[in-house]
């Protein structure tokens, strides 16, 4: 599949920097959130998820933060690598079989 | 470990032609989905099947039909293709019939309707 959009917000970082990608969600009743990574020509790949009863979850080099007060989700990538270059988008579960996807942020990592 | 397999990867159709996109998953998942991805928009759900034997409309079902052939396979059919259906199509599956767990996606089908 193609990368999402021609005019995506873009975050440019240097290799080794920490990256923070933000997502505002719409439904205060959403109970589950996911971050996906999509490389050019590929399908979305699961990175990390978080349920609404948590405010932080850590994976390998990634951390997701959930702020329900302002309906904000962020993905932090530590020690960003060139292989992290991709489009990242969040998704919120708004109900039974109702996963709503954001449009994405393009992350560009320079060596 | 194949995961979710979609065919074909690319397809060009003329307006009015029909075709079926095939999808199979080998993870014994209950739920399967068809999404389309267009520039500037998030993935939009076309149809889903929460379990074998059931199918339901998603956000953008018009112009499409689906068949959950068995637990593994979920196909998407365009009966009379239109230029507005030019898009990248993704099949996905999930272990949870509620749909509130991570989805596993195929690699996509890039469809152009002329």
Q: Is A84 helix (H, G, I), strand (E, B) or coil?
A: helix
Chain A contact for B21 (CB, 8 A cutoff): no
CA-to-CA dists, residue A39 to A107, B9, B106, angstroms: 10, 16, 13
Q: Is A102 on the interface with B (CB under 8 A)?
A: yes
Q: What is d(CA A61, CA B36) in angstroms, rounded to the nearest whole number? A: 30
Buried b (16+ CB within 10 A) or exposed e, A75-109: bbbeebeeebbbbbbbbbbbeebbbbbbbbbbbeb
Instruction: Kindly give the parts of chain B with pLDDT less than 70.
Output: 1, 99-100
Question: Between B42, B48, B104, which is nearest A97 by CB?
Answer: B48
pLDDT band at residue A95 using 50, 70 and 90 as cut-offs: confident
**pLDDT score of A1:** 30
Contact B39 A1 (CB under 8 A): no
Closest partner CB to B105 (pick from A43, A98, A104): A43
**B95 lies within 8 A of chain A by CB:** no
| pLDDT > 80? residue A3 | no
């Amino acid at each position: 599949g193609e990368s999402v959009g021609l005019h995506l917000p873009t975050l440019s970082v240097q290799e080794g920097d920490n990256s923070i990608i933000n997502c505002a969600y719409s439904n205060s009743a959403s109970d589950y959130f996911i971050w996906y990574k999509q490389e050019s020509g590929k399908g979305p790949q699961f990175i990390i998820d978080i349920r609404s009863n948590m405010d932080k979850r850590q994976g390998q080099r990634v951390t997701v933060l959930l702020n329900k007060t302002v309906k904000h989700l962020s993905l932090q990538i530590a020690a960003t690598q060139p292989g992290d270059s991709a489009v990242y988008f969040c998704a919120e579960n708004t109900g039974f079989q109702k996963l709503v996807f954001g449009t994405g942020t393009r992350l560009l990592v320079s060596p | 470990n194949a995961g979710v397999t979609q065919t074909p990867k690319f397809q060009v159709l003329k307006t009015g032609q029909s075709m079926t996109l095939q999808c199979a998953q080998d993870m014994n998942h209950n739920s399967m989905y068809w999404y389309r991805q267009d520039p500037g928009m998030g993935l939009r759900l076309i149809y889903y099947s929460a379990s074998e034997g059931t199918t339901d409309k998603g956000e953008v079902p018009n112009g499409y039909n689906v068949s959950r052939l068995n637990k593994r396979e979920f196909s998407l059919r365009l009966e009379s293709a239109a230029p507005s259906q030019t898009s990248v199509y993704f099949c996905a599956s999930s272990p949870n019939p509620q749909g509130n767990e991570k989805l596993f996606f195929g690699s996509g089908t890039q469809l152009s309707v002329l």
